[in-house]
């Protein structure tokens, strides 16, 4: 009986240490929805690129005259805002349900370590667009996003690390298939988010 109680105490201490050093209220459902938004965005981008030969496309009908680059940036920004907003709302709801604080030391470390590679990658991609190196933008976004996930993963759920590693590998592969970046982008930000988000949801959100 004493040994059983001792093991339970050790397990409880480990859980408390894990909770104090990692932000474990990250919502798996938000990852799934982020993947869905990314797939919708990829489809819209495909429509924009596919309509280059036929003239005005569906975005121009509502926004007026916009360059193809401006339309693609608008789509990307919309996906990012939707994904970030959904993630904040669902994570806040999960944190409130479990009695955890959404903005504590571990979540601050998570955000900081995630943003450093992400912001650097975003600025690098803007520089490549400025220099007309459009073919490498999609691989670079996947690689830097993967690095951001890996860098932040030590402060959250383990699935984030594997999501990051997979995106890095996918981004490196896509450098050898210039011109197919949109498809790799859809797989990396769409399919992989849905897959790893589902793993997180069924493993953590439903327990």
* Residues 164-200: b if buried by 16+ CB within 10 A, e if exposed: bebbbebbeebbeeeeebbebbbbbbbebbbbbbbbb
Q: What does pTM read for this prediction?
A: 0.79
Q: Is the pLDDT of residue 14 over 80?
A: no
Confidence (pLDDT) at 111 = 87
Confidence (pLDDT) at 195 = 94
Confidence (pLDDT) at 15 = 47
Percent of the chain with pLDDT over 90: 37
Nearest by Cα to 34 from 144, 194, 199: 194
CA 186 to chain centre: 12
Confidence (pLDDT) at 12 = 46
Confidence (pLDDT) at 28 = 82
Q: Is the pLDDT of residue 194 over 80?
A: yes
Confidence (pLDDT) at 52 = 53
Confidence (pLDDT) at 21 = 45
Supply the mean pLDDT for the chain: 80
Reported confidence tier of residue 18, pLDDT bands at 50, 70, 90: very low
Confidence (pLDDT) at 206 = 63
CA 178 to chain centre: 22
Reported confidence tier of residue 207, pLDDT bands at 50, 70, 90: low
Confidence (pLDDT) at 93 = 84
Reported confidence tier of residue 69, pLDDT bands at 50, 70, 90: confident
Instruction: Report the range of poorest mean pLDDT among 57-61, 68-72, 78-82.
Output: 57-61
Q: Is the pLDDT of residue 121 over 90?
A: yes
Q: Which residue has the tokens 């959404």?
A: 102
* Domain ranges, ordered by start, for the chain: 28-205
- How many CB atoms lie under 10 A from the CB of residue 150? 20
DSSP result, the chain: -HHHHHHHHHHHHHHHHHHHHS-----HHHHHHHHHHHHHHHHHHHHHHHTTTTS--HHHHHH-S--HHHHHHHHHHHHHHHHHHHHHHHHHHHHHHHT--SSSHHHHHHHHHHHHHHHHHHHHHHHHHHTT-GGGHHHHHHHHHHHHHHHHGGGS-THHHHHHHHHHHHHHHHTTSTT-HHHHHIIIIIIHHHHHHHHHIIIIIT-
State the Cα–Cα distance between residues 207 and 201, nearest whole angstrom.
Answer: 9
Q: Is the pLDDT of residue 25 over 90?
A: no
Confidence (pLDDT) at 66 = 66
């Amino acid at each position: 009986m004493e040994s059983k109680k001792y093991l339970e105490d050790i397990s409880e201490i480990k859980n408390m240490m894990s909770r104090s050093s990692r932000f474990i209220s990250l919502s798996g459902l938000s990852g799934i929805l982020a993947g869905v938004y990314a797939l919708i965005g990829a489809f819209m981008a495909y429509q924009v690129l596919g309509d280059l030969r036929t003239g005005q496309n569906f975005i121009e009908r509502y926004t007026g005259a916009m360059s193809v680059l401006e339309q693609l940036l608008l789509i990307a920004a919309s996906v990012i805002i939707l994904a970030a907003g959904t993630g904040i709302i669902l994570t806040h709801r999960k944190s409130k349900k479990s009695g955890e604080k959404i903005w504590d030391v571990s979540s601050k470390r998570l955000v900081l370590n995630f943003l450093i590679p992400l912001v650097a990658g975003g600025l690098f991609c803007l520089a490549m667009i400025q220099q007309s190196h459009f073919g490498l933008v999609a691989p670079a976004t996947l690689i830097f996003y993967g690095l951001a996930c890996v860098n932040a993963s030590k402060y959250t759920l383990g699935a984030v690390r594997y999501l990051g590693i997979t995106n890095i590998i996918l981004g490196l592969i896509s450098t050898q298939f210039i011109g197919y970046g949109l498809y790799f982008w859809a797989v990396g930000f769409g399919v992989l988010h849905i897959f790893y988000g589902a793993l997180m949801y069924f493993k953590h959100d439903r327990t």
